[in-house]
Amino acid sequence: MKKIAVFASGNGSNFQVIAEEFSVEFVFSDHRDAYVLERADKLGVLSYAFELKEFENKADYEVALVELLEEHQIDLVCLAGYMKIVGPILLAAYEGRIINIHPAYLPEFPGAHGIEDAWNARVGQSGVTIHWVDSGVDTGKVIKQVRVPRLADDTIDSFEARIHEAEYKLYPEVIRELLDK
Ligand code: GRF
């Protein structure tokens, strides 16, 4: 049985969808006050939280993360709104076993504001991408992606909600495929 960990920095709605469908070994948040930690409690999922600023440097922070992953013998790390770039320590230990969800159709609109950037560019369609994590920002090999239309009467809120709905469908699909491999 392959073991999953989820990393999330904030709200955690993607974590919730994943945890409702799969057995999640633990969720990690790099913010001690993130709402995702409340979701984990309600779902009975083990959670850990510590912050980069509590360490001397990012390398030490990532050493602690790798220890946690190894202690739990994690096979697959699912980033879901984890707002940090994965650094060399974590990559060296886990590259090829870390995936990320991005709320746009990569390579279109990488970075922290994929939804807003697509909206401001007035595209007719955007999308959602699941990709392997490498040292770049949203540059890793694409695993699966779907298109999401922007409709004529959309507001940014309705557009965003449609993107999230697509995320909640796509992420579990991809995780299922990777776990079945
Ligand atoms: C999602 O849109 C995800 O694609 C992006 O950050 C957002 C996280 O939302 N990377 P949530 O924390 O899962 O609700």
8 pocket-lining for ligand 1 (C-beta < 6 Å): yes
pLDDT, tens digit, 9 for 90 and up, residues 56-67 = 999 999 999 999
pLDDT, tens digit, 9 for 90 and up, residues 21-52 = 999 999 999 999 999 999 999 999 999 999 99
- Local structure of residue 33 (DSSP, 8 states): T
- From 14, 84, 116, 160, the mutation candidate for ligand 1 (largest count of ligand atoms within 8 A of CB) is 14
The distance of Cα 61 from the centroid of its chain, to the nearest Å, equals: 18
Residues involved in catalysis: 102
Whole-prediction pTM value? 0.97
CA of 17 to the centre of ligand 1 (A): 11
13 pocket-lining for ligand 1 (C-beta < 6 Å): yes
Q: Distance between CA atoms of 115 and 45, rounded to whole angstroms?
A: 29
Stretch 66-83: mean pLDDT:
98
Secondary structure class of 164 (helix, strand, coil): helix
Secondary structure class of 161 (helix, strand, coil): helix
102 pocket-lining for ligand 1 (C-beta < 6 Å): yes
Please tell me the predicted confidence (pLDDT) of residue 178: 97
How many residues does this entry show for the chain?
Answer: 181
What pLDDT band is residue 1 in, cutting at 50, 70 and 90? confident
What pLDDT band is residue 181 in, cutting at 50, 70 and 90? confident
Query: Hey, what domains does the chain have and what are their CATH numbers?
Result: 1-95 (3.40.50.170), 101-169 (3.40.50.170)
